[in-house]
A = this chain, B = another copy of it.
Amino acid sequence: MKIRIFYEDTDSTGVVYHANYIKFCDRARSSFFFDADLPIEDKGALLVHSLDCGYYSPARLGDIIDVKTTISEIKKASIRLKQEIFLNKRVIFELNIKLVYVIDGKPSKFPEYMTELFEKI
Which of B4, B12, B52, B54 contacts A60 (CB under 8 A)? Answer: B12
Contact A48 B18 (CB under 8 A): yes
Task: Find the B residue at minimum CB distance from A38.
Answer: B62
Interface residues of A in 5-34 (CB under 8 A from B): 6-8, 10-15, 17-20, 22-23, 26-27, 30-31, 34
8 closest cross-chain pairs (CB), A and B: A52-B52, A10-B12, A19-B22, A18-B48, A50-B54, A7-B11, A19-B19, A8-B23
Task: Find the B residue at minimum CB distance from A64.
Answer: B34
Which of B11, B34, B50 contacts A52 (CB under 8 A)? Answer: B50
Task: Find the B residue at minimum CB distance from A20.
Answer: B19
Q: How far is the CA of A19 from the CA of B97 in the complex (A)?
A: 12
Q: How far is the CA of A30 from the CA of B60 in the complex (A)?
A: 14
Binding site for B on A (CB under 8 A): 4, 6-8, 10-15, 17-20, 22-23, 26-27, 30-31, 34, 45, 47-55, 60-62
Contact B62 A34 (CB under 8 A): yes
Given contacts A49-B54, A53-B51, A55-B47, contact A23 B14 (CB under 8 A): no
